[in-house]
């Protein structure tokens, strides 16, 4: 029954989305507002289908209906309740179901938001694009990613359950949905960009309509990436949280271009410039989400995050080509109409700083994209399989990261017009002092190496600039000064500075050792921490068996384990981590004795300031929420015509969120 019902919902969604596209095309071609207004009924039908198919699959997983092939392949009576629900997005077909549910959710919100303007051709084009994207993903569900295939289980059949790595930490239940909220959310600003090009309404009004959609998607993607890093740190036990893995890079690429857009859109709103660049960034961001989906779900690259090889790879690659071709064609078609109205008064201005900022983000994205896709290009060319390691990414991205931190401090202090050296020196006095003080403190606390000390100094410089701008806002407006895009952006800058310091210190000062224990009572000292072996413990649970290693660290009991999932036939490590504000101590088991007299091998990892990465991410998320709150004050620069000369007030009006 679940298989039949689910397949029916997939068919309904595909039919409704295709009919909605045809209805929107007819309405736009005939300029008939009545037809455009009818699109809402197709949106409603698509919503019913998306919710229905998702609910049916969850019901099948919860009831362990093994007549559904997806449940037979990934479900199990032994899987705990929380991970049983999360099983839906632990594999390819179910992850597409979640993707469609979130995509249709955005579609419904857009239709609801503009319900009184459905006859407007601009809104009609937006709904047309969103329905077309929905139709594509429903086509995947009806074809190569069909999740409701049938299976005939024999008596007593039980499935293997989800991948053991994906049911070993609670973050698995939250990381993918939040990441998808960001990934899929960029479809909405892309739809507005296409609508703007198709209708020829190329002014700045449409930017106001998409501002919060873009900010919401960017914020969710930021949190999703950090949750993924946290999951990697807690589960894999390798002593790290970011490995420049291809799938990690796939989520980072649209984050970079989305961040660039959130900055450059300020220039377009204020001075009428960068229209082609902003449209290109929006289209590139959406295209990169599809490219990332291809990398994750096609099986073309090996990764702990990726799914197995699948037939949807060619379809995703074809969809990516369609998006790029359509975007380039539309921008080229409207090229003459997209010419900038304003101009740069001086390179030493906020406009010049935003341009430099965007060039840096573009260079960063290019470096990451090249390192991620180069193995694919080589394999496609001569059949050789190669990999691009951490040294390439670290060496190429480090200078760009330093320059971005520098620009974070300087840009808010610059006026939109020409900046005088005396004014700029005065505004940067306190941020520069904060940067120098940060370096002094770092050295005093034992910091060594110019890379780390410089990173701390630039982060302090950037944080000082953001705090200065917030202080100006609060002094002039009270607590309300924390609210709005300008102040929210500064809070995000503070969060980025915290993450930068934590990343630099935890990477540079990582200490790791392998300790061998033979008998209970054996002792070892690692980085000032005393370890005492307290023996082994065998634990049998419903879904797994564990061999726990009991180790006393400074008198506190740690129980890292090796976990065996019998139905999946896979053994993984389960580390134990103690986090404090100053450092993290993590123990992971490398080997346990198969017979008496053999050694137990434990890897000990000590890293400073890891906790501050997650804290900084929380500050970034909070700043994003503040930036999304409407700021109703009348800004003097908004009253001035675009391209006007002169400086705006010192407080960073119009400053966007960044990293």
What integer pLDDT is reported at residue 542 of this predicted model?
A: 76
**Average pLDDT of the residues in 265-294:** 89
**Could you tell me the CA-to-CA distances from 389 to 244, 393, 407 in Å, in that order?**
8, 7, 28
Q: What is the pLDDT of residues 464-515, one digit of tens each?
A: 999 999 999 888 888 888 888 889 999 999 999 999 999 999 988 999 999 9
Token pair belonging to 274 = 């960068």
Q: Is the pLDDT of residue 638 over 90?
A: no
Q: What is the pLDDT of residues 541-597, one digit of tens each?
A: 877 889 999 999 998 999 999 988 877 778 888 899 999 998 999 999 999 887 656
Q: What is the pLDDT of residues 121-130, one digit of tens each?
A: 999 999 999 9
Where residue 140 falls among pLDDT bands split at 50, 70, 90?
Answer: very high
Beta strands 556-558; 523-526: pairing state: unpaired
First to last CA, the chain: 49
Q: Is the pLDDT of residue 223 over 70?
A: yes
- Check residue 572 and report its DSSP letter: E
Q: Is the pLDDT of residue 115 over 60?
A: yes
What percent of the chain shows pLDDT beyond 90?
60
What integer pLDDT is reported at residue 501 of this predicted model?
A: 95
Q: Find, among 651, 303, 308, 311, the residue nearest to 466 by Cα.
A: 651
Question: In sequence order, which residues have a C-beta less than 8 Å from that of residue 541 and are 6 or more positions away?
Answer: none
CA 516 – CA 531 distance, rounded (Å): 11
Where residue 233 falls among pLDDT bands split at 50, 70, 90?
Answer: very high
Is there a contact between 393 and 244 (Cβ–Cβ < 8 Å)?
A: yes
Q: What is the pLDDT of residues 321-349, one digit of tens each?
A: 999 999 999 999 988 888 766 666 677 78
Instruction: Please provide the average confidence, as pLDDT, over all residues in the chain.
Output: 88
Strand partners, 523: 532
Where residue 299 falls among pLDDT bands split at 50, 70, 90?
Answer: low
**Average pLDDT of the residues in 163-181:** 89
Q: Is residue 10 classed as helix, strand or coil in its secondary structure?
A: helix
Q: Is the pLDDT of residue 647 over 70?
A: no
CATH, domain range 163-330+351-366: 1.20.120
CA 84 – CA 427 distance, rounded (Å): 55
CA 472 – CA 655 distance, rounded (Å): 14
Q: What is the pLDDT of residues 364-422, one digit of tens each?
A: 999 999 998 888 788 778 877 777 888 999 999 999 999 999 999 999 888 877 767 78
What integer pLDDT is reported at residue 654 of this predicted model?
A: 38
Higher pLDDT, 297 or 288: 288
Is there a contact between 287 and 323 (Cβ–Cβ < 8 Å)?
A: yes
The DSSP-derived string for 436-493 is HHHHHHHHHTT--SHHHHHHHHHHHHHHHHHHHHHHHHHHHHGGGGG-SHHHHHHHHH
**Average pLDDT of the residues in 63-85:** 92
Q: Is the pLDDT of residue 175 over 80?
A: yes
Q: What is the pLDDT of residues 23-50, one digit of tens each?
A: 999 999 999 888 899 999 999 999 999 9
Where residue 655 falls among pLDDT bands split at 50, 70, 90?
Answer: very low
Token pair belonging to 537 = 């413990």
Q: 585 φ, ψ to 5°?
A: -120, 120
What integer pLDDT is reported at residue 375 of this predicted model?
A: 82
Where residue 303 falls among pLDDT bands split at 50, 70, 90?
Answer: low
What integer pLDDT is reported at residue 651 of this predicted model?
A: 40
The DSSP-derived string for 25-36 is HHHHHHT-HHHH
Query: Domain spans of the chain?
Result: 1-156, 163-330+351-366, 511-608
What integer pLDDT is reported at residue 55 of this predicted model?
A: 97
What integer pLDDT is reported at residue 633 of this predicted model?
A: 56
Q: What is the pTM of this model?
A: 0.91
Strand partners, 531: 524, 553
């Amino acid at each position: 029954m679940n298989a039949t019902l689910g397949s029916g919902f997939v068919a309904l969604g595909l039919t409704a989305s295709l009919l909605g596209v045809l209805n929107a095309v007819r309405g736009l071609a005939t300029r008939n507002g009545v037809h455009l207004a009818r699109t809402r009924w197709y949106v409603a039908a698509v919503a019913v289908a998306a919710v229905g198919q998702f609910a049916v699959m969850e019901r099948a997983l919860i009831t362990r209906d093994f007549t559904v092939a997806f449940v037979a392949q990934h479900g199990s009576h032994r899987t705990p309740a929380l991970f049983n629900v999360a099983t839906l997005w632990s594999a390819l077909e179910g992850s597409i179901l979640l993707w469609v549910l979130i995509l249709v959710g955005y579609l419904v919100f857009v239709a609801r938001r503009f319900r009184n303007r459905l006859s407007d051709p601009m809104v009609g084009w937006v709904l047309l694009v969103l329905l077309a994207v929905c139709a594509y993903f429903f086509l995947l569900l009806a074809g190569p990613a069909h999740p409701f295939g049938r299976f005939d289980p024999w008596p007593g059949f039980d499935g293997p359950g989800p991948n053991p790595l994906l049911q070993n930490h609670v973050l698995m239940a939250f990381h993918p949905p939040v990441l998808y909220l960001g990934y899929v959310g960029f479809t909405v600003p892309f739809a507005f960009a296409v609508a703007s090009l198709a209708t020829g309404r190329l002014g700045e009004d449409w930017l106001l309509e998409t501002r919060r959609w873009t900010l919401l998607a960017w914020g969710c993607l930021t949190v999703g990436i950090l949750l993924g890093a946290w999951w990697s740190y807690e589960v894999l036990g390798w002593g790290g949280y970011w490995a420049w893995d291809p799938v990690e890079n796939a989520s980072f690429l649209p984050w970079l271009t989305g961040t660039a857009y959130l900055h450059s859109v300020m220039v377009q709103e204020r001075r009428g410039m960068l229209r082609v660049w902003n449209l290109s960034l929006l289209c590139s961001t959406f295209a990169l989400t599809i490219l990332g989906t291809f990398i994750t779900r096609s099986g073309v690259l090996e990764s702990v995050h990726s799914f197995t090889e699948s037939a949807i790879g060619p379809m995703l690659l074809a969809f990516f080509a369609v998006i790029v071709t359509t975007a380039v064609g539309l921008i080229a078609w409207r090229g003459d109409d997209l010419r900038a109205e304003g101009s740069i008064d001086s390179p030493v201005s906020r406009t010049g700083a935003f341009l430099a900022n965007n060039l840096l983000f573009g260079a960063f994205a290019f470096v990451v994209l090249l390192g991620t896709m180069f193995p694919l290009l080589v394999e496609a060319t001569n059949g050789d399989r190669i990999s691009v390691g951490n040294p390439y990414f670290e060496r190429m991205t480090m200078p760009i990261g330093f320059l971005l931190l520098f620009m974070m401090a300087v840009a808010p202090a610059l006026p939109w017009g020409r900046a005088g050296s005396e004014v700029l020196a005065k505004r940067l006095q306190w941020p520069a002092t904060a940067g120098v003080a940060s370096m002094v403190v770092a050295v005093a606390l034992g910091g060594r190496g110019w890379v780390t000390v410089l990173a701390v100094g630039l982060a302090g410089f950037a944080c000082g600039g953001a705090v200065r701008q917030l202080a100006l806002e609060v002094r002039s407006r009270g607590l309300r000064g924390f609210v709005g895009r300008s102040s929210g952006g500064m809070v995000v800058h503070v969060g980025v500075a915290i993450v930068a310091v934590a990343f630099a210190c935890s990477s540079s000062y990582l200490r790791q050792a392998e300790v061998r224990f033979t008998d209970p009572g054996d002792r070892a000292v690692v980085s000032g921490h005393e370890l005492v072996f307290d023996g082994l413990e065998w634990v049998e649970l419903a879904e797994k068996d564990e061999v726990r290693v009991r180790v006393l660290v400074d008198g506190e009991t740690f129980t890292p384990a090796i976990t065996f999932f019998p139905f999946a036939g896979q053994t993984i490590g389960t580390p134990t981590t103690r986090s404090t504000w100053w450092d993290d101590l993590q123990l992971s088991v490398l080997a346990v004795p198969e017979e008496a007299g053999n050694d137990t091998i434990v890897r000990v990892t000590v890293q400073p300031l890891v906790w501050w990465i997650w804290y900084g991410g929380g500050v970034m998320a909070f700043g994003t929420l503040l930036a999304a709150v409407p700021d109703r004050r009348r800004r003097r620069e908004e009253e001035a015509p675009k391209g006007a000369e002169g400086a705006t007030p010192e407080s960073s009006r119009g400053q966007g969120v960044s990293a």
